Amino acid sequence: MRRVIDGFQARLEGVVIAGLVADLARDPEMAEAYRERIVRPRRAAVTALLEEWQDRGRIRADADLEVLQDLYVGPIYYRSLVTGATVDDAYADALVDALLAHAALPTPTPENRP
């Protein structure tokens, strides 16, 4: 998530991303190439990490991993591209807290261990 946010915090990179999003909307062939080369490999890597976390009991076994990925990237793009609001570390922390509140299992303590 930090990598996504860092990209939006860097002014030039944020402008490039905005232009790219506009181009992808107008050019279906370019959009498919971008998804194939950039989006799908990144999502696959994140899915593997989330599956590992599920196996370790760090996130719920029934968590929808596709939705989790959309929930962490979508708000960053929306905030930056649509509302123009700042995407900073405080926002990133709040976003992570919200995601963990939804998907994370409680940290084991002596009181809640099986």
Beta pairing partners, 60: none
* pTM of structure: 0.70
110 lies in some domain: no
CATH number of the domain that 95 lies in?
A: 1.10.357.10
50 lies in some domain: yes
Total domain count for the chain?
A: 1
pLDDT < 70: residue spans in the chain: 1-15, 107-114
31 lies in some domain: yes
108 lies in some domain: no
Q: What is the pLDDT of residues 51-74, one digit of tens each?
A: 998 999 888 999 999 999 999 889
75 lies in some domain: yes
* Distance of alpha carbon 89 from alpha carbon 93, whole angstroms: 6
**60 Cβ contact list (under 8 Å, min separation 6):** 54, 103, 104, 105
18 lies in some domain: yes
Contacts for 23-26: CB closer than 8 Å, 24+ residues apart:
none
111 lies in some domain: no
Q: What is the model's pLDDT at position 99?
A: 87
Pair of tokens at residue 9:
């915090």
Per the structure, the complete domain to which residue 55 belongs is given by: 2-103
46 lies in some domain: yes
